[in-house]
Amino acid sequence: MNAVDQKVMKFVQKTQAYEVMPHPQSNRMYHIEISAHVIEEFLTKLKEEDVSVQRLEYTPYMRHIIANYLQQLVGEEFGEIIRGILHDRETGGYTVGMKGLTEDTEEYVMFATAITHLIGLPNFDAMSKKYYARFTVQDTDNSDSYLRQAYRLFTLHTDGTFVDEPTDWLLMMKMKEENAVGGESRLLHLDDWEEMGKYSNHPLASHEFTYKAPGSKNVDQEVQRTTFFKDNNKPCICFIDQFVYTETIEEAEYLKGLSDSMENDKSVIELKLPVGDLVMVNNLFWLHGRAAFQKDPNLNRELMRLRGRFAK
Q: Rule CB under 5 A: which residues touch Fe ion? A: 159
Taking the complex as a whole, how short is the minimal distance between the CB of residue 247 and Fe ion, in angstroms? Answer: 25
User: Torsions phi, psi of 218, nearest 5?
Assistant: 60, 35
Nearest partner of 133 among 303, 310, 308, judged by Cα: 303
Taking the complex as a whole, how short is the minimal distance between the CB of residue 154 and Fe ion, in angstroms? Answer: 8
**Beta-sheet pairing, 222-226 with 208-212:** antiparallel
Contact (Cβ atoms closer than 8 angstroms) between residue 185 and residue 271: yes
Q: Which is nearer to Fe ion, 115 or 240 (CB)?
A: 240
Q: Which is nearer to Fe ion, 81 or 172 (CB)?
A: 172
Q: Which is nearer to Fe ion, 78 or 239 (CB)?
A: 239
Q: Which is nearer to Fe ion, 46 or 279 (CB)?
A: 279
Note the helical H segments in the chain. Answer: 3-6, 36-48, 53-58, 61-74, 76-87, 105-119, 196-200, 249-263
Please name the helix (run of DSSP H) or strand (run of DSSP E) that holds residue 229, with its range, or none. strand 228-231
Q: Which is nearer to Fe ion, 88 or 159 (CB)?
A: 159
Taking the complex as a whole, how short is the minimal distance between the CB of residue 239 and Fe ion, in angstroms? Answer: 11
Taking the complex as a whole, how short is the minimal distance between the CB of residue 289 and Fe ion, in angstroms? Answer: 8
Contact (Cβ atoms closer than 8 angstroms) between residue 199 and residue 228: yes
C-alpha distances out from residue 271 to 94, 268, 288, Å = 11, 9, 10
Q: Name the 3-class secondary structure at 156.
A: strand
Alpha carbons within 13 angstroms on the beta-carbon side of residue 88 total: 21
Q: Which is nearer to Fe ion, 107 or 159 (CB)?
A: 159
C-alpha distances out from residue 273 to 96, 97, 283, 296, Å = 10, 9, 18, 20
Taking the complex as a whole, how short is the minimal distance between the CB of residue 175 and Fe ion, in angstroms? Answer: 16
Taking the complex as a whole, how short is the minimal distance between the CB of residue 100 and Fe ion, in angstroms? Answer: 26
CA distance linking residue 79 with residue 33, whole number of Å: 14
Q: Which is nearer to Fe ion, 18 or 162 (CB)?
A: 162
Q: Which is nearer to Fe ion, 71 or 145 (CB)?
A: 145
Closest CB to Fe ion: residue number = 159
Taking the complex as a whole, how short is the minimal distance between the CB of residue 152 and Fe ion, in angstroms? Answer: 15
Taking the complex as a whole, how short is the minimal distance between the CB of residue 147 and Fe ion, in angstroms? Answer: 8
Which residues are 304's β-sheet partners? Answer: 134, 173
